[in-house]
Chain A
Amino acid sequence: MPLLQLFNLRKDFGGLRAVDDVSLEVATGAIVGLIGPNGSGKSTLLNLIAGSAERTAGRIIFDGDEISGLSADQVFQRGIARGYQDPSLYLKMTTLDNALLPVKSQRGEHPWYAPWRRFWQKQEAENARAAAGVLEQVQLLGHYDSLASDLSGGQMKLLEMGRSLMGSPKLLLLDEPTAGVAPNLAYEIFEEISRLRQQHGITFLIVEHRLEILFDFVDSVYVMHLGNLLAHGSADDIASNETVREVYFGD
Protein backbone atom coordinates (compact mmCIF):
# COMPACT_ATOMS: atom_id res chain seq x y z
CA MET A 1 0.00 0.00 0.00
CA PRO A 2 1.32 3.47 -0.84
CA LEU A 3 2.45 5.66 2.06
CA LEU A 4 0.77 8.79 0.68
CA GLN A 5 -2.27 9.07 -1.56
CA LEU A 6 -3.92 12.25 -2.82
CA PHE A 7 -7.43 12.10 -4.27
CA ASN A 8 -8.68 15.01 -6.40
CA LEU A 9 -6.90 17.56 -4.24
CA ARG A 10 -7.86 21.12 -5.09
CA LYS A 11 -6.81 24.57 -3.84
CA ASP A 12 -8.34 27.88 -4.89
CA PHE A 13 -6.85 31.25 -4.03
CA GLY A 14 -9.78 33.57 -4.74
CA GLY A 15 -10.44 33.01 -8.43
CA LEU A 16 -7.11 31.27 -9.07
CA ARG A 17 -7.03 27.48 -9.01
CA ALA A 18 -3.48 26.74 -7.84
CA VAL A 19 -3.98 22.99 -7.54
CA ASP A 20 -6.59 21.41 -9.79
CA ASP A 21 -7.86 17.93 -8.90
CA VAL A 22 -4.47 16.36 -8.37
CA SER A 23 -4.37 12.65 -7.52
CA LEU A 24 -1.05 10.97 -6.91
CA GLU A 25 0.65 8.21 -4.93
CA VAL A 26 3.98 7.94 -3.18
CA ALA A 27 5.10 4.37 -2.44
CA THR A 28 6.67 3.53 0.94
CA GLY A 29 10.44 3.96 0.81
CA ALA A 30 10.43 5.68 -2.57
CA ILE A 31 12.12 8.89 -3.66
CA VAL A 32 9.58 10.69 -5.81
CA GLY A 33 10.29 13.87 -7.77
CA LEU A 34 7.76 16.65 -8.36
CA ILE A 35 8.72 19.00 -11.17
CA GLY A 36 7.11 21.71 -13.24
CA PRO A 37 7.62 25.33 -14.29
CA ASN A 38 7.42 28.14 -11.72
CA GLY A 39 3.88 28.76 -10.55
CA SER A 40 2.63 25.30 -11.50
CA GLY A 41 1.43 24.61 -7.95
CA LYS A 42 4.20 22.36 -6.61
CA SER A 43 4.90 24.28 -3.39
CA THR A 44 1.17 24.76 -2.78
CA LEU A 45 0.73 20.99 -3.11
CA LEU A 46 3.45 20.42 -0.48
CA ASN A 47 1.74 22.97 1.81
CA LEU A 48 -1.58 21.14 1.44
CA ILE A 49 0.02 17.81 2.37
CA ALA A 50 1.88 19.35 5.34
CA GLY A 51 -1.33 20.98 6.61
CA SER A 52 0.05 24.52 6.43
CA ALA A 53 -2.52 25.42 3.76
CA GLU A 54 -6.17 24.43 3.83
CA ARG A 55 -7.46 22.45 0.87
CA THR A 56 -10.56 23.54 -1.05
CA ALA A 57 -11.56 19.96 -1.88
CA GLY A 58 -10.14 16.46 -2.03
CA ARG A 59 -8.67 13.92 0.35
CA ILE A 60 -5.19 13.14 1.67
CA ILE A 61 -4.50 9.61 2.96
CA PHE A 62 -1.26 9.02 4.84
CA ASP A 63 -0.21 5.65 6.19
CA GLY A 64 -3.79 4.39 5.93
CA ASP A 65 -5.40 7.35 7.75
CA GLU A 66 -7.13 10.40 6.36
CA ILE A 67 -5.13 13.48 7.37
CA SER A 68 -6.96 16.14 5.33
CA GLY A 69 -8.06 18.92 7.67
CA LEU A 70 -5.46 18.30 10.38
CA SER A 71 -3.34 21.26 11.50
CA ALA A 72 0.35 21.41 10.59
CA ASP A 73 1.57 20.27 14.00
CA GLN A 74 -0.83 17.33 14.02
CA VAL A 75 0.35 16.32 10.53
CA PHE A 76 3.94 16.54 11.77
CA GLN A 77 3.11 14.29 14.73
CA ARG A 78 1.75 11.71 12.23
CA GLY A 79 5.17 11.61 10.56
CA ILE A 80 5.31 14.15 7.73
CA ALA A 81 8.04 16.81 7.88
CA ARG A 82 8.37 19.70 5.44
CA GLY A 83 11.54 21.44 4.27
CA TYR A 84 11.58 24.85 2.64
CA GLN A 85 13.31 26.49 -0.30
CA ASP A 86 14.69 29.18 2.00
CA PRO A 87 15.85 27.35 5.10
CA SER A 88 13.33 28.20 7.82
CA LEU A 89 15.24 28.03 11.06
CA TYR A 90 15.11 29.89 14.34
CA LEU A 91 18.05 32.13 13.55
CA LYS A 92 18.39 33.54 17.05
CA MET A 93 18.55 30.08 18.61
CA THR A 94 21.51 27.71 18.65
CA THR A 95 21.96 24.79 16.26
CA LEU A 96 21.28 22.33 19.10
CA ASP A 97 18.13 24.19 20.22
CA ASN A 98 16.84 24.13 16.63
CA ALA A 99 17.37 20.38 16.46
CA LEU A 100 15.67 19.76 19.82
CA LEU A 101 12.48 21.70 19.04
CA PRO A 102 10.52 19.00 17.16
CA VAL A 103 11.11 16.16 19.65
CA LYS A 104 7.74 14.62 20.56
CA SER A 105 6.39 14.54 24.13
CA GLN A 106 9.23 16.08 26.11
CA ARG A 107 8.63 15.98 29.86
CA GLY A 108 10.17 19.41 30.32
CA GLU A 109 7.28 20.80 28.23
CA HIS A 110 4.91 20.65 31.17
CA PRO A 111 4.88 23.64 33.50
CA TRP A 112 4.51 21.40 36.57
CA TYR A 113 7.53 19.26 35.60
CA ALA A 114 9.69 22.02 34.12
CA PRO A 115 10.78 23.60 37.46
CA TRP A 116 12.03 20.24 38.78
CA ARG A 117 15.14 19.35 36.89
CA ARG A 118 15.29 15.71 37.93
CA PHE A 119 11.98 14.96 36.21
CA TRP A 120 13.30 15.74 32.77
CA GLN A 121 17.08 15.85 33.03
CA LYS A 122 17.56 12.25 31.90
CA GLN A 123 15.18 12.55 28.98
CA GLU A 124 16.71 15.89 27.96
CA ALA A 125 20.17 14.28 27.97
CA GLU A 126 18.87 11.43 25.79
CA ASN A 127 17.30 13.93 23.40
CA ALA A 128 20.51 15.93 23.29
CA ARG A 129 22.45 12.73 22.49
CA ALA A 130 20.01 11.92 19.68
CA ALA A 131 20.33 15.48 18.40
CA ALA A 132 24.13 15.22 18.56
CA GLY A 133 23.89 12.02 16.47
CA VAL A 134 21.74 13.77 13.87
CA LEU A 135 24.00 16.85 13.85
CA GLU A 136 27.00 14.61 13.35
CA GLN A 137 25.26 12.94 10.42
CA VAL A 138 24.74 16.32 8.75
CA GLN A 139 28.27 17.42 9.77
CA LEU A 140 27.17 20.20 12.09
CA LEU A 141 28.16 18.74 15.46
CA GLY A 142 31.08 21.18 15.72
CA HIS A 143 28.59 24.05 15.42
CA TYR A 144 26.11 22.88 18.06
CA ASP A 145 26.44 26.07 20.14
CA SER A 146 26.51 28.55 17.23
CA LEU A 147 23.47 30.63 16.49
CA ALA A 148 21.71 29.34 13.36
CA SER A 149 22.23 32.77 11.77
CA ASP A 150 26.00 32.13 11.79
CA LEU A 151 25.73 29.05 9.53
CA SER A 152 26.33 29.08 5.76
CA GLY A 153 23.43 28.59 3.33
CA GLY A 154 24.32 24.93 2.72
CA GLN A 155 24.71 24.27 6.45
CA MET A 156 21.29 25.81 7.07
CA LYS A 157 19.76 23.35 4.57
CA LEU A 158 21.49 20.48 6.34
CA LEU A 159 20.34 21.72 9.74
CA GLU A 160 16.78 21.96 8.45
CA MET A 161 17.01 18.36 7.27
CA GLY A 162 18.56 17.29 10.58
CA ARG A 163 15.75 19.02 12.48
CA SER A 164 13.17 17.14 10.40
CA LEU A 165 14.87 13.85 11.32
CA MET A 166 14.49 14.62 15.05
CA GLY A 167 10.73 14.08 14.69
CA SER A 168 11.47 10.59 13.22
CA PRO A 169 9.36 11.28 10.13
CA LYS A 170 8.13 8.64 7.70
CA LEU A 171 7.80 11.11 4.84
CA LEU A 172 9.96 14.13 4.10
CA LEU A 173 8.62 16.81 1.77
CA LEU A 174 11.52 18.83 0.40
CA ASP A 175 11.17 22.05 -1.58
CA GLU A 176 14.22 22.57 -3.79
CA PRO A 177 16.77 21.17 -1.36
CA THR A 178 19.63 22.33 -3.60
CA ALA A 179 18.42 25.89 -4.32
CA GLY A 180 21.22 28.36 -3.71
CA VAL A 181 23.72 25.60 -2.93
CA ALA A 182 27.04 25.15 -4.76
CA PRO A 183 26.89 22.38 -7.46
CA ASN A 184 29.25 19.95 -5.70
CA LEU A 185 27.34 20.33 -2.39
CA ALA A 186 24.03 19.89 -4.26
CA TYR A 187 25.08 16.38 -5.29
CA GLU A 188 26.10 15.66 -1.69
CA ILE A 189 22.68 16.69 -0.43
CA PHE A 190 21.04 14.15 -2.72
CA GLU A 191 23.52 11.47 -1.62
CA GLU A 192 22.52 12.30 1.96
CA ILE A 193 18.85 11.89 0.98
CA SER A 194 19.60 8.52 -0.58
CA ARG A 195 21.49 7.42 2.54
CA LEU A 196 18.60 8.48 4.81
CA ARG A 197 16.21 6.40 2.72
CA GLN A 198 18.47 3.36 3.10
CA GLN A 199 19.32 3.78 6.80
CA HIS A 200 16.00 4.99 8.17
CA GLY A 201 13.54 3.88 5.48
CA ILE A 202 12.34 7.48 5.03
CA THR A 203 10.18 8.23 1.99
CA PHE A 204 10.80 11.43 0.03
CA LEU A 205 8.68 13.72 -2.12
CA ILE A 206 11.03 16.29 -3.61
CA VAL A 207 10.38 19.44 -5.62
CA GLU A 208 13.55 20.20 -7.57
CA HIS A 209 14.64 22.28 -10.55
CA ARG A 210 18.07 20.69 -11.01
CA LEU A 211 16.71 17.82 -13.06
CA GLU A 212 20.15 16.46 -14.01
CA ILE A 213 20.77 15.64 -10.31
CA LEU A 214 17.19 14.74 -9.41
CA PHE A 215 16.85 12.22 -12.24
CA ASP A 216 19.88 10.28 -10.92
CA PHE A 217 18.14 9.56 -7.60
CA VAL A 218 14.35 9.27 -8.10
CA ASP A 219 12.18 6.19 -8.51
CA SER A 220 9.48 8.13 -10.31
CA VAL A 221 8.59 11.68 -11.29
CA TYR A 222 5.32 13.65 -11.40
CA VAL A 223 5.12 16.70 -13.66
CA MET A 224 2.78 19.60 -12.83
CA HIS A 225 1.66 22.39 -15.14
CA LEU A 226 -0.83 25.17 -14.27
CA GLY A 227 -2.11 23.25 -11.25
CA ASN A 228 -2.68 20.00 -13.17
CA LEU A 229 -0.73 16.77 -13.28
CA LEU A 230 0.73 16.57 -16.74
CA ALA A 231 2.67 13.32 -16.63
CA HIS A 232 3.96 10.57 -14.38
CA GLY A 233 6.68 8.04 -15.04
CA SER A 234 10.28 7.00 -14.52
CA ALA A 235 13.02 9.58 -14.93
CA ASP A 236 13.81 8.23 -18.41
CA ASP A 237 10.15 8.37 -19.50
CA ILE A 238 9.83 11.96 -18.33
CA ALA A 239 13.12 13.04 -19.89
CA SER A 240 11.95 11.80 -23.29
CA ASN A 241 8.31 12.93 -22.98
CA GLU A 242 7.54 15.44 -25.76
CA THR A 243 4.74 17.31 -23.93
CA VAL A 244 6.85 17.70 -20.82
CA ARG A 245 9.76 19.07 -22.85
CA GLU A 246 7.40 21.55 -24.44
CA VAL A 247 5.95 23.06 -21.23
CA TYR A 248 9.09 22.75 -19.17
CA PHE A 249 11.86 23.69 -21.51
CA GLY A 250 9.78 25.60 -24.03
CA ASP A 251 11.11 23.66 -27.01
Chain B
Amino acid sequence: MPSSLLVTSLVNTIQIGSLYALMALGLTLTFSVIKLPNFAHAEYVTAGAYAALIISLAGVLNPLIIIAVAFLVGALTAVVSHLIVFKPLERQNVSLYTLILASFAVGLIIRYILFTIADYFNIFDLRIAIPLQILFRTGSLILTNLFAWVAPTSIVLVILLTLLINRTALGREMRALANNTILARVIGIPVERVKNYTWLLVGGMAGVAGALWGLQSAVSPLMGWAAIISVFAAAILGGLSSFPGTILGAYVVAFSENTIMLFLNFSYGVDLAYKPAIPFIIIIAVLLIRPQGLTQLLKRAGELGR
Protein backbone atom coordinates (compact mmCIF):
# COMPACT_ATOMS: atom_id res chain seq x y z
CA MET B 1 0.00 0.00 0.00
CA PRO B 2 1.48 3.36 -1.02
CA SER B 3 2.86 5.44 1.81
CA SER B 4 0.91 8.56 0.84
CA LEU B 5 -2.31 6.62 1.27
CA LEU B 6 -1.06 5.32 4.59
CA VAL B 7 -0.39 8.86 5.84
CA THR B 8 -3.82 10.06 4.69
CA SER B 9 -5.51 7.15 6.43
CA LEU B 10 -3.54 7.85 9.63
CA VAL B 11 -4.65 11.48 9.54
CA ASN B 12 -8.22 10.20 9.14
CA THR B 13 -7.68 7.85 12.07
CA ILE B 14 -6.66 10.75 14.30
CA GLN B 15 -9.55 12.92 13.18
CA ILE B 16 -12.26 10.27 13.35
CA GLY B 17 -10.74 8.68 16.45
CA SER B 18 -10.86 12.00 18.32
CA LEU B 19 -14.52 12.42 17.40
CA TYR B 20 -15.27 8.85 18.46
CA ALA B 21 -13.49 9.51 21.76
CA LEU B 22 -15.61 12.59 22.39
CA MET B 23 -18.81 10.63 21.78
CA ALA B 24 -17.72 7.41 23.47
CA LEU B 25 -16.68 9.20 26.69
CA GLY B 26 -20.23 10.50 26.96
CA LEU B 27 -21.53 6.97 26.52
CA THR B 28 -19.13 5.65 29.18
CA LEU B 29 -20.17 8.44 31.57
CA THR B 30 -23.88 7.72 31.08
CA PHE B 31 -23.30 4.02 31.52
CA SER B 32 -21.28 4.32 34.72
CA VAL B 33 -22.91 7.30 36.45
CA ILE B 34 -26.52 6.97 35.25
CA LYS B 35 -26.35 3.15 34.73
CA LEU B 36 -27.87 3.40 31.25
CA PRO B 37 -26.46 2.16 27.91
CA ASN B 38 -28.03 5.08 26.10
CA PHE B 39 -28.80 4.50 22.43
CA ALA B 40 -30.34 7.98 22.20
CA HIS B 41 -26.79 9.30 22.60
CA ALA B 42 -26.50 9.20 18.79
CA GLU B 43 -29.32 11.71 18.50
CA TYR B 44 -27.69 14.26 20.81
CA VAL B 45 -24.86 14.23 18.27
CA THR B 46 -27.27 14.81 15.39
CA ALA B 47 -29.15 17.53 17.31
CA GLY B 48 -25.84 19.37 17.91
CA ALA B 49 -24.92 18.99 14.23
CA TYR B 50 -28.23 20.45 13.05
CA ALA B 51 -28.05 23.31 15.53
CA ALA B 52 -24.58 24.09 14.18
CA LEU B 53 -25.73 23.76 10.56
CA ILE B 54 -28.76 25.99 11.05
CA ILE B 55 -26.85 28.85 12.66
CA SER B 56 -24.09 28.52 10.06
CA LEU B 57 -26.75 28.84 7.34
CA ALA B 58 -28.07 31.87 9.21
CA GLY B 59 -24.68 33.45 8.65
CA VAL B 60 -22.74 32.69 11.85
CA LEU B 61 -19.41 31.35 10.63
CA ASN B 62 -17.24 31.71 13.72
CA PRO B 63 -16.38 28.10 14.67
CA LEU B 64 -16.25 28.92 18.40
CA ILE B 65 -19.82 30.25 18.42
CA ILE B 66 -20.97 27.29 16.33
CA ILE B 67 -19.39 24.88 18.82
CA ALA B 68 -20.91 26.72 21.81
CA VAL B 69 -24.41 26.61 20.30
CA ALA B 70 -24.01 22.91 19.48
CA PHE B 71 -22.96 22.29 23.10
CA LEU B 72 -26.03 24.06 24.45
CA VAL B 73 -28.47 22.31 22.11
CA GLY B 74 -26.92 18.88 22.75
CA ALA B 75 -27.00 19.50 26.52
CA LEU B 76 -30.61 20.70 26.39
CA THR B 77 -31.71 17.63 24.40
CA ALA B 78 -29.99 15.30 26.87
CA VAL B 79 -31.31 17.03 30.00
CA VAL B 80 -34.86 17.16 28.63
CA SER B 81 -34.80 13.46 27.70
CA HIS B 82 -33.56 12.74 31.24
CA LEU B 83 -36.21 14.82 32.96
CA ILE B 84 -39.12 13.66 30.80
CA VAL B 85 -38.28 9.99 30.26
CA PHE B 86 -35.33 8.45 32.10
CA LYS B 87 -35.78 10.04 35.53
CA PRO B 88 -39.47 9.11 35.92
CA LEU B 89 -38.67 5.56 34.73
CA GLU B 90 -35.79 5.25 37.19
CA ARG B 91 -38.09 6.35 39.99
CA GLN B 92 -40.36 3.41 39.16
CA ASN B 93 -37.39 1.06 39.48
CA VAL B 94 -37.86 -0.41 36.01
CA SER B 95 -35.41 -3.01 34.71
CA LEU B 96 -32.34 -2.27 32.61
CA TYR B 97 -34.08 -3.74 29.53
CA THR B 98 -36.94 -1.27 29.87
CA LEU B 99 -34.44 1.57 30.09
CA ILE B 100 -32.55 0.38 26.99
CA LEU B 101 -35.81 0.11 25.03
CA ALA B 102 -36.82 3.54 26.28
CA SER B 103 -33.49 4.93 25.08
CA PHE B 104 -34.19 3.47 21.60
CA ALA B 105 -37.61 5.11 21.67
CA VAL B 106 -36.22 8.47 22.80
CA GLY B 107 -33.64 8.22 20.02
CA LEU B 108 -36.32 7.52 17.40
CA ILE B 109 -38.45 10.44 18.58
CA ILE B 110 -35.54 12.90 18.47
CA ARG B 111 -34.40 11.55 15.09
CA TYR B 112 -37.79 12.07 13.48
CA ILE B 113 -38.21 15.50 15.06
CA LEU B 114 -34.91 16.33 13.35
CA PHE B 115 -36.20 14.79 10.09
CA THR B 116 -39.25 17.07 10.31
CA ILE B 117 -37.10 20.14 10.92
CA ALA B 118 -34.69 19.19 8.11
CA ASP B 119 -37.62 18.58 5.78
CA TYR B 120 -39.28 21.90 6.65
CA PHE B 121 -36.14 23.92 5.89
CA ASN B 122 -35.03 21.45 3.20
CA ILE B 123 -31.59 21.02 4.73
CA PHE B 124 -30.39 17.51 3.99
CA ASP B 125 -26.79 16.45 3.44
CA LEU B 126 -25.24 19.90 3.75
CA ARG B 127 -21.86 20.60 5.27
CA ILE B 128 -21.37 23.31 7.89
CA ALA B 129 -19.69 25.71 5.49
CA ILE B 130 -17.03 27.59 7.37
CA PRO B 131 -14.56 29.01 4.85
CA LEU B 132 -12.00 26.42 3.85
CA GLN B 133 -8.30 27.21 3.99
CA ILE B 134 -5.39 24.97 3.14
CA LEU B 135 -2.85 25.06 5.94
CA PHE B 136 -0.36 22.48 4.78
CA ARG B 137 0.19 20.51 1.66
CA THR B 138 2.76 17.93 0.68
CA GLY B 139 2.38 15.40 -2.09
CA SER B 140 -1.09 13.93 -1.71
CA LEU B 141 -1.60 15.04 1.91
CA ILE B 142 -3.59 18.21 2.35
CA LEU B 143 -4.31 19.56 5.81
CA THR B 144 -7.05 22.18 5.96
CA ASN B 145 -8.28 24.39 8.76
CA LEU B 146 -11.03 21.79 9.28
CA PHE B 147 -8.44 19.33 10.51
CA ALA B 148 -7.07 22.09 12.72
CA TRP B 149 -10.52 22.50 14.27
CA VAL B 150 -11.82 18.95 14.49
CA ALA B 151 -8.96 16.96 15.99
CA PRO B 152 -7.56 19.58 18.44
CA THR B 153 -11.02 20.63 19.69
CA SER B 154 -11.97 17.02 20.37
CA ILE B 155 -8.65 16.30 22.03
CA VAL B 156 -8.83 19.43 24.21
CA LEU B 157 -12.39 18.55 25.29
CA VAL B 158 -11.37 14.97 26.05
CA ILE B 159 -8.49 16.25 28.21
CA LEU B 160 -10.77 18.79 29.96
CA LEU B 161 -13.34 16.11 30.71
CA THR B 162 -10.65 13.78 32.06
CA LEU B 163 -9.33 16.56 34.31
CA LEU B 164 -12.85 17.35 35.44
CA ILE B 165 -13.43 13.73 36.43
CA ASN B 166 -10.11 13.35 38.23
CA ARG B 167 -9.53 16.75 39.79
CA THR B 168 -12.81 18.46 40.69
CA ALA B 169 -15.46 17.95 43.34
CA LEU B 170 -18.04 17.21 40.63
CA GLY B 171 -15.77 14.54 39.15
CA ARG B 172 -15.16 13.03 42.57
CA GLU B 173 -18.91 12.74 43.10
CA MET B 174 -19.44 11.30 39.63
CA ARG B 175 -16.79 8.67 40.33
CA ALA B 176 -18.55 7.88 43.61
CA LEU B 177 -21.90 7.45 41.83
CA ALA B 178 -20.24 5.24 39.24
CA ASN B 179 -18.99 3.03 42.05
CA ASN B 180 -22.02 2.83 44.32
CA THR B 181 -25.11 5.01 44.02
CA ILE B 182 -26.76 3.85 47.25
CA LEU B 183 -23.67 4.60 49.31
CA ALA B 184 -23.41 7.98 47.59
CA ARG B 185 -26.88 8.84 48.87
CA VAL B 186 -26.15 7.66 52.39
CA ILE B 187 -23.05 9.84 52.71
CA GLY B 188 -24.96 12.89 51.56
CA ILE B 189 -23.90 13.35 47.94
CA PRO B 190 -26.70 15.27 46.14
CA VAL B 191 -27.31 12.36 43.76
CA GLU B 192 -30.07 13.92 41.64
CA ARG B 193 -28.05 17.09 41.08
CA VAL B 194 -24.91 15.17 40.09
CA LYS B 195 -27.02 13.14 37.63
CA ASN B 196 -28.46 16.30 36.07
CA TYR B 197 -24.97 17.74 35.64
CA THR B 198 -23.78 14.46 34.12
CA TRP B 199 -26.55 14.61 31.51
CA LEU B 200 -25.68 18.21 30.79
CA LEU B 201 -22.01 17.41 30.17
CA VAL B 202 -22.74 14.24 28.21
CA GLY B 203 -25.25 15.97 25.93
CA GLY B 204 -23.00 19.00 25.48
CA MET B 205 -20.01 16.89 24.46
CA ALA B 206 -22.19 14.92 22.04
CA GLY B 207 -23.50 18.16 20.56
CA VAL B 208 -19.96 19.48 20.02
CA ALA B 209 -18.99 16.16 18.42
CA GLY B 210 -21.94 16.63 16.05
CA ALA B 211 -20.85 20.13 15.06
CA LEU B 212 -17.27 18.97 14.44
CA TRP B 213 -18.57 15.99 12.47
CA GLY B 214 -20.65 18.38 10.36
CA LEU B 215 -17.55 20.43 9.60
CA GLN B 216 -15.91 17.53 7.83
CA SER B 217 -18.85 15.69 6.28
CA ALA B 218 -22.51 16.20 5.43
CA VAL B 219 -25.14 16.67 8.13
CA SER B 220 -28.14 14.36 7.86
CA PRO B 221 -30.75 13.17 10.39
CA LEU B 222 -29.15 9.71 10.32
CA MET B 223 -25.53 10.75 10.90
CA GLY B 224 -25.49 10.06 14.66
CA TRP B 225 -27.26 6.76 14.23
CA ALA B 226 -24.72 5.74 11.59
CA ALA B 227 -21.84 6.40 13.99
CA ILE B 228 -23.35 4.95 17.17
CA ILE B 229 -22.21 1.35 16.62
CA SER B 230 -18.59 2.47 16.15
CA VAL B 231 -18.94 4.62 19.27
CA PHE B 232 -20.38 1.71 21.26
CA ALA B 233 -17.49 -0.45 20.03
CA ALA B 234 -15.04 2.13 21.40
CA ALA B 235 -16.85 2.34 24.75
CA ILE B 236 -17.04 -1.46 25.02
CA LEU B 237 -13.31 -1.69 24.35
CA GLY B 238 -12.97 0.56 27.40
CA GLY B 239 -15.12 -1.82 29.43
CA LEU B 240 -17.78 0.93 29.57
CA SER B 241 -16.19 2.10 32.80
CA SER B 242 -12.76 3.56 32.18
CA PHE B 243 -11.81 6.87 30.60
CA PRO B 244 -8.33 5.93 29.34
CA GLY B 245 -9.73 2.62 28.06
CA THR B 246 -12.50 4.41 26.15
CA ILE B 247 -10.12 6.91 24.57
CA LEU B 248 -7.78 4.11 23.53
CA GLY B 249 -10.79 2.16 22.26
CA ALA B 250 -11.92 5.11 20.11
CA TYR B 251 -8.57 5.29 18.33
CA VAL B 252 -8.43 1.48 17.93
CA VAL B 253 -11.85 1.51 16.23
CA ALA B 254 -10.92 4.46 14.01
CA PHE B 255 -7.60 2.83 13.10
CA SER B 256 -9.37 -0.44 12.19
CA GLU B 257 -11.99 1.37 10.11
CA ASN B 258 -9.50 3.51 8.22
CA THR B 259 -5.95 2.20 8.11
CA ILE B 260 -6.57 -1.53 8.53
CA MET B 261 -9.56 -1.48 6.16
CA LEU B 262 -7.49 0.29 3.52
CA PHE B 263 -4.63 -2.17 4.02
CA LEU B 264 -7.00 -5.15 3.62
CA ASN B 265 -8.42 -3.53 0.53
CA PHE B 266 -5.01 -3.03 -1.04
CA SER B 267 -3.35 -6.27 -0.05
CA TYR B 268 -6.22 -8.75 -0.19
CA GLY B 269 -8.84 -6.99 -2.30
CA VAL B 270 -11.37 -6.80 0.55
CA ASP B 271 -14.19 -4.55 -0.59
CA LEU B 272 -14.39 -1.20 1.23
CA ALA B 273 -18.12 -1.81 1.62
CA TYR B 274 -17.21 -4.12 4.53
CA LYS B 275 -16.12 -1.13 6.60
CA PRO B 276 -19.36 -0.92 8.65
CA ALA B 277 -18.82 -4.54 9.72
CA ILE B 278 -15.62 -3.68 11.57
CA PRO B 279 -17.19 -2.23 14.73
CA PHE B 280 -19.53 -5.23 14.97
CA ILE B 281 -16.58 -7.59 14.72
CA ILE B 282 -14.80 -5.62 17.44
CA ILE B 283 -17.84 -5.65 19.74
CA ILE B 284 -18.41 -9.39 19.35
CA ALA B 285 -14.70 -10.21 19.74
CA VAL B 286 -14.41 -8.09 22.90
CA LEU B 287 -17.56 -9.52 24.45
CA LEU B 288 -16.37 -13.07 23.74
CA ILE B 289 -12.72 -12.73 24.66
CA ARG B 290 -12.32 -9.79 27.05
CA PRO B 291 -15.69 -8.61 28.39
CA GLN B 292 -13.91 -6.32 30.85
CA GLY B 293 -12.39 -4.43 27.90
CA LEU B 294 -8.93 -2.95 27.88
CA THR B 295 -9.34 -1.60 31.43
CA GLN B 296 -7.34 -4.27 33.18
CA LEU B 297 -4.39 -3.63 30.88
CA LEU B 298 -4.10 -0.07 32.14
CA LYS B 299 -2.45 0.22 35.50
CA ARG B 300 -4.57 1.32 38.44
CA ALA B 301 -7.63 2.08 36.34
CA GLY B 302 -10.48 2.52 38.81
CA GLU B 303 -14.08 3.29 38.04
CA LEU B 304 -13.85 6.15 35.54
CA GLY B 305 -10.83 8.40 35.72
CA ARG B 306 -7.15 7.70 36.45
Chain B interface: which of A35-43, A92-100, A138-146? A92-100
**How far, in angstroms, from A163 to B184 measured CA to CA in the complex?**
12
Would you call B1 an interface residue if the criterion is a C-beta within 8 Å of the partner chain's C-beta atoms?
Answer: no
Does the CB pair B188–A92 fall under 8 Å?
no
Grouping DSSP codes into helix (H, G, I), strand (E, B) and loop, the B interface class, with mixed when no group exceeds half, is: helix
Interface size bracket, A side: 20 to 34
Would you call B5 an interface residue if the criterion is a C-beta within 8 Å of the partner chain's C-beta atoms?
Answer: no
Would you call B172 an interface residue if the criterion is a C-beta within 8 Å of the partner chain's C-beta atoms?
Answer: yes
Does the CB pair A81–B169 fall under 8 Å?
no
Q: Which residue of B lies closest to A92 (CB)?
A: B302
Chain B interface: which of A69-77, A201-209, A220-228? A69-77
CB contacts (< 8 Å) of A157 on chain B: these are none
Contact string against A for B residues 157-196, beta-carbon threshold 8 Å, 1 for contact and 0 otherwise: 0001000100011111101100110111111111101100
| Also in contact, A52 and B185, with CB within 8 A (given A109-B193, A120-B169) | yes
The distance from the CB of B223 to the nearest CB of chain A, in whole angstroms, is: 26
Would you call A213 an interface residue if the criterion is a C-beta within 8 Å of the partner chain's C-beta atoms?
Answer: no
CB contacts (< 8 Å) of A50 on chain B: these are 186
Does the CB pair A115–B164 fall under 8 Å?
yes
Does the CB pair A120–B186 fall under 8 Å?
no
Partner of B176, one of A90, A103, A120: A90
Would you call A107 an interface residue if the criterion is a C-beta within 8 Å of the partner chain's C-beta atoms?
Answer: yes
The distance from the CB of B301 to the nearest CB of chain A, in whole angstroms, is: 9
Would you call A111 an interface residue if the criterion is a C-beta within 8 Å of the partner chain's C-beta atoms?
Answer: yes
Partner of A108, one of B169, B179, B189: B169
Would you call B200 an interface residue if the criterion is a C-beta within 8 Å of the partner chain's C-beta atoms?
Answer: yes
**How far, in angstroms, from A90 to B174 measured CA to CA in the complex?**
12
Q: Which residue of B lies closest to A169 (CB)?
A: B188
Does the CB pair A120–B188 fall under 8 Å?
no
Does the CB pair B190–A90 fall under 8 Å?
no
CB contacts (< 8 Å) of A107 on chain B: these are 169
Does the CB pair B169–A52 fall under 8 Å?
no
Partner of A100, one of B172, B184, B197: B172
Does the CB pair A90–B170 fall under 8 Å?
no
Would you call A234 an interface residue if the criterion is a C-beta within 8 Å of the partner chain's C-beta atoms?
Answer: no
Does the CB pair A81–B185 fall under 8 Å?
no
Does the CB pair A111–B197 fall under 8 Å?
yes
Would you call B29 an interface residue if the criterion is a C-beta within 8 Å of the partner chain's C-beta atoms?
Answer: no
Partner of B185, one of A73, A90, A103, A111: A73
Does the CB pair A72–B186 fall under 8 Å?
yes
Would you call B303 an interface residue if the criterion is a C-beta within 8 Å of the partner chain's C-beta atoms?
Answer: yes
Does the CB pair B168–A120 fall under 8 Å?
yes
Does the CB pair B160–A111 fall under 8 Å?
no
Does the CB pair A114–B188 fall under 8 Å?
no
CB contacts (< 8 Å) of B191 on chain A: these are 73
Does the CB pair B303–A92 fall under 8 Å?
yes
CB contacts (< 8 Å) of A147 on chain B: these are 302
Contact string against B for A residues 97-127, beta-carbon threshold 8 Å, 1 for contact and 0 otherwise: 1001111101111110011000010001000
Contact string against A for B residues 210-251, beta-carbon threshold 8 Å, 1 for contact and 0 otherwise: 000000000000000000000000000000000000000000
Partner of A81, one of B173, B175, B187, B189: B187
| Also in contact, A76 and B169, with CB within 8 A (given A92-B302, A93-B175, A114-B164) | no
Partner of A114, one of B170, B183, B184, B185: B170
12 A-B pairs with CB atoms under 8 Å apart are: A76-B186, A76-B187, A76-B188, A90-B176, A90-B179, A92-B303, A93-B172, A102-B188, A102-B189, A109-B170, A109-B190, A110-B170
